[in-house]
Structure 1
Amino acid sequence: MKAGIHPDYTEVNVTCSCGHVFQTRSTMGKENFHVEVCSQCHPFYTGKQKVLDTAGRIDKFKQKFGKFSR
């Protein structure tokens, strides 16, 4: 690597809105970084993902287009 052309790669403390704190490395130049979601609170990673059927939209869709499925 050439000297002097790459940014500093330092450790950063990341804080999520849920309170989870972890360390990573970044070229951002800050010591602390705040995020809204992380792997500890995002529904995709926690398995607590919910499918909301508002006003029977899924049933309406199946009634309208169910005849086209095999």
Structure 2
Amino acid sequence: MKPGIHPKYELTTITCACGAVYHVGSTKKNIRVEVCANCHPFYSGNRSARVETTGGRIERFRKKYGMA
């Protein structure tokens, strides 16, 4: 790598709104996020937080336009 053109890469802390703390390497210091792997519905398996769809595209089209 060319010296002097790259940002300094160092250990930093990522803090989530849920309270989870991760220590990773980054060029930024003390990153705050709203959603992480600990509280995201896809990763945590919390089905109640996920919006359920009511049928597929064809069923919604038929319901909207009154086709049987």
Do Structure 1 and Structure 2 share a fold, with TM-score over 0.5? Answer: yes
Q: Give the match for residue 35 of structure 1.
A: 33
In the alignment of these two chains, the number of paired residues is 59
Q: Give the match for residue 48 of structure 1.
A: 46
Matched residue of 2:14: which SS? strand
Tell me the amino acid that sits aligned with residue 8 of structure 1: K
| 1:62 corresponds to 2:65 | no
Deviations 1:20-50 (A, max 9, x none): 001111112x2x1110000000001111133
Tell me the amino acid that sits aligned with residue 23 of structure 2: Q
Unpaired segments ≥5 residues, structure 1: none
Tell me the amino acid that sits aligned with residue 59 of structure 2: K
Q: Give the match for residue 22 of structure 1.
A: 22
Q: Compute the RMSD of aligned alpha carbons.
A: 2.4
TM-score (norm. length: structure 2) = 0.69
TM-score (norm. length: structure 1) = 0.67
Unpaired segments ≥5 residues, structure 2: none
Deviation above 4 Å: which 4+ runs of structure 1? none
